[in-house]
């Protein structure tokens, strides 16, 4: 039966997955054309925005107008790009969107996050077919470069006049799968920092023992950071916090040595050494304390160390508050969202902080309440992994969930006290 249906929610999902938008050279033209064509069939308003002079990083913005255009709107966000895939390590090619007999659809982006892009649109298709009309405007943004930090995507969009004109009251962005049967929801991300520590020291013969070599200076630094890492991890291991609630510090590269031929001069102690770290800061931590720790303990000048700290996005909103969206009755959007999940027959897990990072931080910076949500239950967490897949039944159930969520969020009118 399925084989005879060439234009279904599943086939549209598969066709979207077949567009290779993996870094380092994501094709942004093809997905924008593909989604534009769908938007035309749904009679949505269509805009393509550019925030780079070369116009190579389009942002597609769709609008379903509301009957009360002056009310704050709902924004549904997803990113166009994906991380690279090592094809030869996959059971099915990562841009084939191959569907197995048991319904698993394999593709890079199946979970992260092309599912939600098509689910938003399919939910709108169903709602329109049922003559549902939103009170608030509903906007959909399909953005470039999330996987590389979003600086030419959401960061510029969130700061733009076009964005201000949307008068966004609430945003939904991507979340993460759950192997269990509850829907996960995320009220904050951790902020990513890159730290590069550089050591200098006296060079010398490989046989000599002396103080203050570059390697020794760097390794002391690595030791101190490793101890901090272990202490944070112990808190998690003791069950006192989730992984996403502590600071993570992970070394990602080490660089030193005097090149010689195909290898290194083994009897020369080098005069320079360098290490790179991925650091993630939860919203509960004062970032200033981490900056201080880096300067005083991890890379002190006194040990001949210098460092470069690249903070990839904000840690506080424009009022100086942590980037976290309230998930209690103080946030009317939360209550409506929660109720809509229940109406769709779903169970909601306890709201979490996301261990990684999404575009949501730039919206929270603007003070816009934003939840991370990808309706994937009974699904292994495969984002950025080999053999990323999503089951057809899970994908279709997600459309139903969004029908409930989009209709509820776009039609509630806040009762002011
Ligand atoms: C430097 S921002 C990188 C954003 C990226 N997002 C998804 O994986 C992440 O590493 O969490
Ligand atoms: Zn993602
Ligand atoms: Zn990702």
* 31 and 180 co-located in one domain: yes
Ranges assigned E (strand) in 263-336: 263-264, 268-269, 272-281, 305-311
* pLDDT recorded at residue 415: 58
CA distance 61 to 63: 7
- Calculate the CA 59 to chain-centre distance: 16
Q: How would you label 263-298 residue by residue, b for 16+ Cβ within 10 Å and e otherwise?
A: eeeeeebbbbbbbebebbbbbebebeebeeebeeeb
CA distance 399 to 99: 18
* 74 and 137 co-located in one domain: yes
* 167 and 34 co-located in one domain: yes
* pLDDT recorded at residue 327: 97
* pLDDT recorded at residue 412: 85
* pLDDT recorded at residue 4: 56
* 139 and 209 co-located in one domain: no
Number of other CB atoms surrounding residue 116 within 10 Å? 25
We report the CATH number of the domain holding residue 346 as: 3.40.630.10
* 127 and 222 co-located in one domain: no
Ligand 1 neighbour 351 (Cβ under 6 A): no
Specify the residue with its C-alpha closest to ligand 1, atom 1. 149
The whole domain housing 229 covers 191-311
Widest CA span of the chain, in angstroms? 81
Q: Is residue 321 part of a domain?
A: no
CB 277 within 8 A of CB 271: no
CB 79 within 8 A of CB 60: no
CB 135 within 8 A of CB 411: yes
Ligand 1 neighbour 194 (Cβ under 6 A): no
Q: Is residue 318 part of a domain?
A: no
- The yes-or-no answer on residue 113 being catalytic is no
CA distance 375 to 183: 6
Q: Is residue 402 part of a domain?
A: yes
* pLDDT recorded at residue 116: 98
Specify the residue with its C-alpha closest to ligand 1, atom 3. 149
Q: Is residue 400 part of a domain?
A: yes
CA distance 370 to 355: 16
Residue from 113, 122, 145, 146 carrying the catalytic annotation: 146
Identify the domain boundary among 311, 339, 366.
311
| All residues at 6 or more sequence positions from 24 whose CB lies less than 8 Å from its CB, including other chains | 84
* 81 and 126 co-located in one domain: yes
Show the tokens assigned to 181: 């049967």
Q: Point out the ligand nearest to the CA of residue 314.
A: 1
- Each as own residue / partner, the long-range contacts of residues 314-318 (CB below 8 Å, 24 or more positions apart, any chain) are 314/191, 314/361, 314/362, 314/365, 315/191, 315/281, 315/283, 315/287, 316/287, 316/365, 317/364, 317/365, 317/366, 317/367, 318/365, 318/366, 318/367
244 CA → ligand 2 middle, Å:
16
* 167 and 298 co-located in one domain: no
* 30 and 102 co-located in one domain: yes
Look at the chain and report how many structural domains it folds into: 2
Q: Is residue 416 part of a domain?
A: no
* 247 and 149 co-located in one domain: no
Q: Is residue 317 part of a domain?
A: no
3-state secondary structure of 232: helix
Identify the domain boundary among 282, 311, 340.
311
* pLDDT recorded at residue 1: 43
* pLDDT recorded at residue 6: 80
Residue 131 CA: distances (Å) to CA of 125, 126, 403: 10, 9, 13
Show the tokens assigned to 208: 């000599």
Q: Is residue 319 part of a domain?
A: no
Check the annotation: does 417 bind a ligand. Answer: no
| All residues at 6 or more sequence positions from 160 whose CB lies less than 8 Å from its CB, including other chains | 49, 51
* 335 and 200 co-located in one domain: no
Identify the domain boundary among 283, 311, 339.
311
* pLDDT recorded at residue 307: 98
- The yes-or-no answer on residue 81 being catalytic is yes
CA angle, 30 then 32 then 37, to 5°: 95
Residue whose CB lies within 8 A of the most ligand 1 atoms, among 147, 276, 277, 362, for a mutation test: 147
* pLDDT recorded at residue 101: 97
Closest C-alpha among 116, 113, 173, 84 to residue 359:
173
We report the CATH number of the domain holding residue 244 as: 3.30.70.360
Regions of the chain where pLDDT drops below 50: 1-2, 417
């Amino acid at each position: 039966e399925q084989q005879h249906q060439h234009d279904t929610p599943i086939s549209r999902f598969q066709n979207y997955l077949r567009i290779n938008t993996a870094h380092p050279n994501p094709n942004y033209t093809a997905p924008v054309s593909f989604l534009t064509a769908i938007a035309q069939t749904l009679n949505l308003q269509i805009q393509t925005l550019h925030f780079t002079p070369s116009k190579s990083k389009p942002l597609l913005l769709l609008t379903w107008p509301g009957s009360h255009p002056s009310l704050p709107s709902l924004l549904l966000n997803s990113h166009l790009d994906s991380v690279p895939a090592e094809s030869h390590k996959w059971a099915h090619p990562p841009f084939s969107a191959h569907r197995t007999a048991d319904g698993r659809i394999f593709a890079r982006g199946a979970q992260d996050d092309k599912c939600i892009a098509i689910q938003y649109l399919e939910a709108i298709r169903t709602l329109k077919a049922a003559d549902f009309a939103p009170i608030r405007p509903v906007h959909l943004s399909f953005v470039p470069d999330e996987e590389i930090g979003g600086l030419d995507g959401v960061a510029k969009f969130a700061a733009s006049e076009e964005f201000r004109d949307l008068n966004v009251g609430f945003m939904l962005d991507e979340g993460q799968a759950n192997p269990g049967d509850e829907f996960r929801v995320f009220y904050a991300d951790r902020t990513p920092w890159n730290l590069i520590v550089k050591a200098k020291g006296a060079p010398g013969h490989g046989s000599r023992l002396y103080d203050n070599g570059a390697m020794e200076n760097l390794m002391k630094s690595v030791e101190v950071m490793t101890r901090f890492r272990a202490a944070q991890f112990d808190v998690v291991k003791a069950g006192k916090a989730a992984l996403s609630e502590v600071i993570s510090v992970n070394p990602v590269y080490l660089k030193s040595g005097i090149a010689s031929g195909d290898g290194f001069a083994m009897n020369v102690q080098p005069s320079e050494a360098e290490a790179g770290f991925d650091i993630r800061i939860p919203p509960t931590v004062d970032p200033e304390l981490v900056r201080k720790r880096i300067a005083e303990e991890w890379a002190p000048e006194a040990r001949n160390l210098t460092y470069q700290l690249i903070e990839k996005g904000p840690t506080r909103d424009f009022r100086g508050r942590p980037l976290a969206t309230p998930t209690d009755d103080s946030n009317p959007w939360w209550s409506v969202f929660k109720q809509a999940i229940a109406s769709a027959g779903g169970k909601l897990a306890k709201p979490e902080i996301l261990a990684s990072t999404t575009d949501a931080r730039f919206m929270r910076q603007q003070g816009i309440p934003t939840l991370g949500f990808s309706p994937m239950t009974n699904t292994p967490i495969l984002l950025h992994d080999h053999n990323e897949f999503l089951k057809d039944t899970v994908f279709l159930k997600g459309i139903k969930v969004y029908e409930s969520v989009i209709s509820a969020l776009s039609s509630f009118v806040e009762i002011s006290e």
